[in-house]
Every structure is written in C-alpha cells, then in structure tokens.
C-alpha cells in the first residue's frame, strides 16, 4: 500500500472505482450487451431464414414455371385432340348431309319421273281420244261418201278397236 501512496494513488478510491467499474460492466452486460447480442443473433437468424425462404421461393418459382409449361403442353395436346375430333365430326356430318341430299335428290328425281310418266300417259290418253274422235269423224265423212251404212258401221268399229293399240 505504501507503493500506491508513493505513486499517488489512493487505494480506497481505486477500490471504489474498481467496484463501480465492475457494477457498471455487470449492468452494461445484462441490460445492454446481452440484449444487443440477442438482437444481433435474432437479426442474423432472420436474415438466415430470409435467405432460406428466398431459396425456397426461387425453387417454388421454378417448379411453378415448369408446372405452367407442362400444363400449357397438356392444353396444347388436348386442343389438338379436340380440333382433330371436331374435324372428324365435321367430316362425318358433311358425309351424312351429302348422303341425305343425294337420297333426297334421287327421291325427288323418282317422284319427278313418276309425275312426268303420269302426265305423259294422261296426255297420250287425251291425244288418243282426241285422235280417235277425229279419225272417227273423218272416217264417217269418208264412209258416208263411199260406203253403205253397214260398211261404215263395221269400219268404225274396227278403227275404234284397233286405233288405241296402234297409238301406243
């Protein structure tokens, strides 16, 4: 202690300052340094977690992009299938419509043919009856001049009977 007195140091004051310094260090350690360390550790963990989350998000982004690309490819394939199916159905529908149209045209042609045939027969019958009446009148006039009444009657009957067969 004498040495401390020779150097001009008051040992009691020095001891009080050491105790004060120790108390200050303990207080700073518990109330400032440790909370700051906890805050720094927490911040470090948050940054580390953020980095891991960023990596996970990047990975999820890549997976999502790949999923999107796969879905687009599937949609393209399905669209191609639908288009092809639509073309096939259109082709079948076209074929059916053409067959129906041909069938209807054939039916209409047959009906028209039958109508024409009926009209032709009707006109032929009318022509035959008109021609037969004309021939009968003409024959009567000719027969009146040259034949007797009996000859005229026999000739008229023969003409009336044979004329329709000759006109067919």
Distance CA 45, CA 49 (A): 6
In the chain, the largest separation of any two C-alpha atoms, in whole Å, equals: 201
pLDDT for position 147: 64
pLDDT for 82 equals 95
Burial zone of 152 (CB within 10 Å; 0-12 exposed, 13-18 middle, 19+ buried):
middle
**What pLDDT score does 166 carry?**
66
With beta carbons less than 8 A apart as the criterion, state whether 160 and 132 touch: yes
Other CB atoms within 10 A of residue 154 CB: 13
Determine the Cα–Cα distance for residues 148 and 144; give it in Å rounded to an integer. 7
Q: What is the pLDDT of residue 127?
A: 80
159: pLDDT confidence band, cut at 50, 70 and 90?
Answer: confident
- Ramachandran assignment for 146, one of left (phi > 0), alpha (psi -120 to 50 degrees), beta (any other): alpha
Report pLDDT for 56.
Answer: 95
State mean pLDDT over 104-131.
89
- What is the domain count for the chain? 1
Q: Distance between alpha carbon 51 and the CA centroid of its chain, in Å?
A: 46
Place of tokens 């259109």: 90
Q: What is the pLDDT of residues 56-98, one digit of tens each?
A: 999 999 999 999 999 999 999 999 999 999 999 999 999 999 9
- Residues of the domain holding 10: 2-167
Query: What global pTM score does this model have?
Result: 0.40
Task: Tell me the per-residue pLDDT of 111-120, one tens digit each, with 9 for 90 and over.
Answer: 999 999 999 8
Mean pLDDT of 101-125: 91
Q: What's the pLDDT at 129? A: 81
Q: Single out the residue of 111, 161, 103, 106 nearest to residue 136, CA to CA.
A: 161
Write down the pLDDT at residue 9. 78
What is the Rg, in whole angstroms, of the alpha carbon atoms belonging to the chain?
64
pLDDT band at 12; cut points 50, 70, 90: confident
């Amino acid at each position: 202690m004498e040495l401390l007195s020779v150097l001009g140091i008051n040992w009691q004051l020095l001891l009080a300052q050491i105790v004060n310094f120790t108390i200050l260090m303990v207080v700073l350690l518990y109330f400032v340094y440790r909370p700051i360390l906890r805050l720094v550790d927490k911040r470090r963990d948050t940054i580390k977690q953020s980095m891991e989350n960023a990596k996970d998000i990047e990975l999820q982004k890549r997976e999502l992009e790949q999923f999107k690309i796969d879905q687009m490819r599937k949609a393209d394939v399905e669209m191609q299938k639908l288009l092809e199916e639509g073309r096939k159905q259109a082709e079948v529908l076209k074929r059916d419509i053409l067959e129906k149209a041909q069938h209807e045209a054939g039916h209409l042609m047959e009906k028209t043919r039958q109508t024409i045939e009926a009209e032709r027969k009707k006109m032929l019958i009318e022509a035959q009856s008109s021609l037969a009446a004309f021939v009968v009148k003409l024959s009567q006039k000719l027969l009146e001049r040259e034949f007797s009444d009996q000859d005229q009657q026999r000739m008229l009957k023969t003409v009336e009977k044979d004329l329709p067969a000759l006109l067919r």
